[in-house]
Amino acid sequence: MVQVLYYQSPMGWFEIKGSHLGISSVKRVEEPGENSLAANELLVDAARQLDEYFHRERKDFEILLDWGDNPTFSQLVWMELLKIPYGETRTYSGIAKKLGHPKAVRAVGLANRNNPIAIIVPCHRVIARSGELQGYFYGLDMKRRLLELENPERFAIQGTLF
């Protein structure tokens, strides 16, 4: 049985879904809905770990994930995303090469776009080969904010010195 828990982060509300198998969805929502009665321990733990992440107290998530019946290639991409260290980035083409499908750059991008477990499965750490921020389903501003949270020296927007 799928349960739901809403978590308010410094970057907005997130809906966390899961069951005894693991977390199946973390997505940003405009406003919270109703939490499941007696949300299971996995959901509460996921909210705690997300809170630690947003407060720079956690770099790695330690939680069970439930990929459901998503396509195998997407699952392979998401498992590769889990290997990207905190504060670092990889390119879409680099991930395609790692998976042994160097021409599958668009398929990697599509898998990123369809990632159901935002933040925990860090699709925000994938950028264009040129180094540009590209393609994030919550917008490039949110992507930059997440990258800046993880690596403020590299991703902070630079001001002008007078």
Is residue 123 annotated as part of the catalytic site, yes or no? yes
DSSP per-residue string spanning 95-119: HHHHTT-TT-HHHHHHHHHT-SBTT
| Cα angle 157-58-24, degrees, rounded to a multiple of 5 | 100
Q: Which of 50, 77, 123, 146 is catalytic?
A: 123
Tokens 């990123």 -> residue: 112
Residue numbers annotated as active site:
123
